[in-house]
Amino acid sequence: MEFASGYLGMTTTVVFLLLLPCVMSMPREFDFFFFVQQWPGSYCDTRRGCCYPRTGKPAADFSIHGLWPNYDDGSYPSDCNRHSHFNISEISDLRDEMEKEWPSLSCPSSDDTNFWSHEWEKHGTCSMLDQHQYFQAALNLKTQLNLLHILQSAGIHPDDGLYSLESIRNAVEEAAGFTPGIECNADESRQRQLYQIFVCVDTTATTLIECPVLPRGRCPHLIEFPAF
């Protein structure tokens, strides 16, 4: 009997382990996307610093961090298809725009394709879109939501000045029609600064919506908008 139940347990475990990859690679539905843009000045002036990609110093503009499927409860799916690898050939027509709008700033290699590959495999595989649709959707959203233009029109400039969190939030809210999430980080002297802006998009990745949840932003009332 000891042997039989042990054997049965092991068989169950083996079957479970064999089925697990299939279950995990099946995309589940999600509720909305976070579309996240980052300010390069705030990525680069931290203690960790940044490295420029092959194409050189990016423009002084917000750039795409990612388009992330999310659940209404704040959790999110990731790595939904371990068999779907990033393939640069599928987005060759988007590459120039990607290098401009979605540059990597990470050190030491700052390899754009590594960054895009990570974003595709962790988040894009959960989007229900193919690679071309996914990256194209993010580029379209970047065009649709020109954050630097929106902020500058409201008198908020990347000039190392301090701005109220409220003024930044209001400027984006008036232009986008929905309340954004604002995330801060700290520069080398621990000054809190404008790092990322989150907006929410419906599951077709085209239409802005009110955010069901927002990330904790870690911003005080006054934050710096550093030059880049």
- Could you confirm whether 83 is annotated as catalytic? no
Active site (annotated) includes residue 85: no
Q: Say how many residues touch ligand NAG, by CB under 6 A.
A: 3
- Choice among 101, 121, 123, 224 that is catalytic: 123
5/89 with CB nearer ligand NAG = 89
Residues 64-93 that bind ligand NAG (CB under 6 A): 87, 89-90
Judged by beta carbon, residue 90 or residue 111, the one nearer ligand NAG is: 90
Please tell me the distance from the alpha carbon of residue 12 to that of residue 1, in angstroms, as a whole number: 16
Is 78 or 92 the residue whose CB approaches ligand NAG more closely?
Answer: 92
Question: Helices 131-144 and 112-122: crossing angle, nearest 10°?
Answer: 110
In the complex, what is the shortest distance from the CB of residue 86 to ligand NAG, in angstroms, rounded to a whole number?
9
195 vs 184: CA distance, rounded Å: 5
Task: Work out whether 111 is an interface residue with ligand NAG (CB under 6 A).
Answer: no
The region, left, alpha or beta by phi > 0 then psi within -120 to 50, assigned to residue 207 is: beta
Which listed residue (101, 119, 121, 224) is catalytic? 119
Is residue 183 among the annotated active site residues? no
Q: In terms of CB distance, is 94 or 168 closer to ligand NAG?
A: 94
Q: State the minimum distance, in angstroms, from the CB of residue 85 to ligand NAG.
A: 7
Q: How far is the CB of 82 from ligand NAG (least distance, A)?
A: 14
**Separation of CA 207 from chain center:** 17
DSSP string, 84-106: ----GGGGGGGHHHHHHHS----
> In DSSP terms, which residues pair with 184 in a beta bridge?
194
Q: 178: closest CA among 192, 197, 205? A: 197
Q: Residue 207's CB: how many other CB atoms inside 10 A? A: 11
Tell the smallest beta-carbon distance from residue 133 to ligand NAG (Å). Answer: 13
* Contact call for residues 75 and 126 (beta carbons, < 8 A): no
Nearer to ligand NAG, 89 or 189 (CB): 89
| Pattern 146-185, ligand NAG, x by CB under 6 A | ----------------------------------------
CB of 90 to ligand NAG, least distance (A): 5
Written as six digits, the tokens of 102 are 């979605």
Question: Does the N-terminal peptide bond of residue 40 adopt cis geometry, omega within 30 degrees of 0?
Answer: no
- What is the binding site for ligand NAG (CB under 6 A)? 87, 89-90
Residues tagged active-site: 65, 119, 123
